[in-house]
């Protein structure tokens, strides 16, 4: 009843031409849009102070809370691990190991299939795992050295539900034949919003384009794109320096 009365009052204030209603609307607008008349130098100082305080808080929370807690969940970890913005979410009996110099977003999910025996995620050295990425391990997932996984990636080693709708309705888990391993060999680049299903191996130095859904394996040095993903071209690298080029 109170909410109904409040909604009616709000509607009357917005639509009424009564002087009292119009005066109240103007007053509410002034209050809602109130700004402190600060000079530009003061606004810049406040912003700099905000950046400094948030950076310090981020550093101390990373060093003394998030990173130790993250390492406490790992089976093995290397040196110089960096977490960005919090602690990843873990579910299931996942056995996870990471190498040296890994950078992992705190807004990621690592999952191990409950009905599997020791689902294992192994991450090599110098690996980036971006924001809102989900890695669901059915049996095992191996991520090689120097791999880059951009934001919103999905490595799907198990689907979580059976194909049969009657089994799904009963709340049963997926079947063993639905799970599969995923292997990303060294130097693979997985772009934004890529999904990779089980029983897939991506060869070294391959690149998977944004939005692709990968359902099969590909050899090294392949540009991969589409839904379902296909080999677009073979990548050729003319030197081991920072400049490289791809050709058809």
Give CA 194 to chain center in angstroms. 11
Which one-letter DSSP state was computed for residue 76? B
Residue 187 tokens, joined: 């130097």
User: Please, are residues 157 and 182 in contact by the beta-carbon 8 Å criterion?
Assistant: yes
Residue 159 tokens, joined: 């689907």
Residue 228 tokens, joined: 């379902």
Q: Identify the residue whose tokens are 């130790």.
A: 68
Please tell me which residue in 161, 166, 238, 243 is annotated as part of the active site: 161
Q: Identify the residue whose tokens are 């110098």.
A: 126
Nearest-angstrom CA–CA distance, 242 and 244: 7
Nearest-angstrom CA–CA distance, 49 and 77: 35
Which one-letter DSSP state was computed for residue 173? P
Nearest-angstrom CA–CA distance, 185 and 233: 18
Q: Which residues, 6 or more positions from 198, have their beta carbon under 8 angstroms from its beta carbon?
A: 138, 156, 157, 158, 178, 179, 180, 181, 182
161 is catalytic: yes
Active site residues: 161
């Amino acid at each position: 009843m109170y909410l109904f009365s409040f909604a009616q009052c709000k509607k009357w204030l917005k639509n009424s031409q009564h002087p009292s209603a119009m005066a109240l609307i103007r007053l509410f607008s002034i209050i809602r849009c109130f700004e402190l008349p600060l000079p530009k130098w003061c606004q810049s100082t406040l912003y700099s102070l905000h950046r400094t305080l948030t950076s310090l808080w981020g550093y101390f929370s990373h060093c003394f809370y998030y990173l130790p807690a993250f390492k406490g969940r790992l089976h093995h970890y290397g040196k110089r691990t960096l977490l960005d913005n919090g602690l990843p979410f873990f579910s299931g009996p996942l056995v996870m190991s990471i190498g040296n110099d890994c950078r992992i977003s705190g807004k990621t999910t690592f999952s191990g299939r409950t009905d599997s025996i020791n689902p294992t995620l192994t991450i090599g050295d110098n690996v980036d795992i971006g924001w809102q990425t989900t890695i669901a391990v059915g049996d095992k997932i191996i991520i090689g050295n120097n791999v880059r996984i951009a934001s919103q990636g999905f490595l799907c080693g198990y689907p979580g539900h059976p194909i049969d709708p009657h089994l799904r309705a009963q709340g049963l888990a997926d079947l063993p034949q639905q799970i599969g391993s995923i292997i990303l060999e060294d130097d693979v680049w997985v772009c934004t919003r890529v999904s990779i299903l089980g029983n897939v191996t991506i060869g070294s130095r391959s690149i998977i384009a944004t939005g692709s859904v990968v359902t099969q394996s590909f050899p090294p040095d392949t540009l991969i794109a589409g839904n379902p993903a296909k080999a677009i071209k073979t990548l050729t690298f003319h030197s081991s320096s920072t400049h490289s080029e791809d050709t058809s």
